[in-house]
């Protein structure tokens, strides 16, 4: 079936450290993955995406890693800042073009 889940519901990270948010997916036919950030009271904001023919993609302070063998996705945020506090969702697109979201990980930044 289709499911995208996150290993940890809450992640606390010291300001300035790197954050790693993990995600497992179950649909081996998924060919496109997206990370979103949702701040309180706002809609999800696109962070970075990756297609299944890649295993790594870098953006500004963010890196997404895709391991198709174990169906695992991760988002790395470098030098975490207070403004990174949010809920992070991974999402996958299956062959039927539905984009399915996981439950989210709340990232909490410690001063």
Partner 1 sequence: DSGVTQTPKHLITATGQRVTLRCSPRSGDLSVYWYQQSLDQGLQFLIQYYNGEERAKGNILERFSAQQFPDLHSELNLSSLELGDSALYFCASSVEVGTEAFFGQGTRLTVV
| Residues of this chain that bind partner 1 (CB under 8 A) | 31-32, 34, 36, 42-46, 49, 89, 91, 93, 96-104
Q: How many CA atoms lie within 13 A of 110 on its CB side?
A: 8
Q: How far is the CB of 92 from partner 1 (least distance, A)?
A: 11
Give the nearest distance from C-beta 16 to partner 1 in angstroms: 28
What is the spatial distance between Cα 72 and Cα 24, in angstroms, rounded to a whole number?
5
For the chain, give the number of residues: 111
Supply the minimum distance, in Å, between the C-beta of residue 56 and partner 1. Answer: 18
**What is the DSSP pairing of strand 99-101 with strand 56-58?**
unpaired
43 vs 111, beta carbon nearer partner 1: 43
* CB neighbour class for 45 (10 Å; exposed up to 12, middle 13-18, buried from 19): exposed
- The residue (of 3 and 14) whose beta carbon lies closer to partner 1 is 3
Smallest gap from residue 17 Cβ to partner 1 (A): 25
Three-state secondary structure call for residue 53 = coil
Closer residue to partner 1, CB minimum distance, 9 or 16: 9
Measured from the CB atom, the residue of 24 and 99 that comes closer to partner 1 is 99
């Amino acid at each position: 079936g289709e499911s995208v889940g996150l290993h940890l519901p809450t992640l606390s990270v010291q300001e300035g450290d790197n954050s790693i948010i993990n995600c497992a997916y179950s649909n081996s036919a998924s060919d496109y993955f997206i990370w979103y950030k949702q701040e309180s009271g706002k809609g999800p904001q696109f962070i970075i995406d990756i297609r299944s023919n890649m295993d790594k993609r870098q953006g500004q302070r963010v890196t997404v890693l895709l391991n198709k063998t174990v169906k695992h996705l991760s988002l790395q945020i470098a030098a975490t800042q207070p403004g990174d506090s949010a809920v992070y969702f991974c999402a996958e697109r299956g062959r039927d073009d539905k984009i399915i979201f996981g439950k989210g990980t709340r990232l909490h930044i410690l001063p």
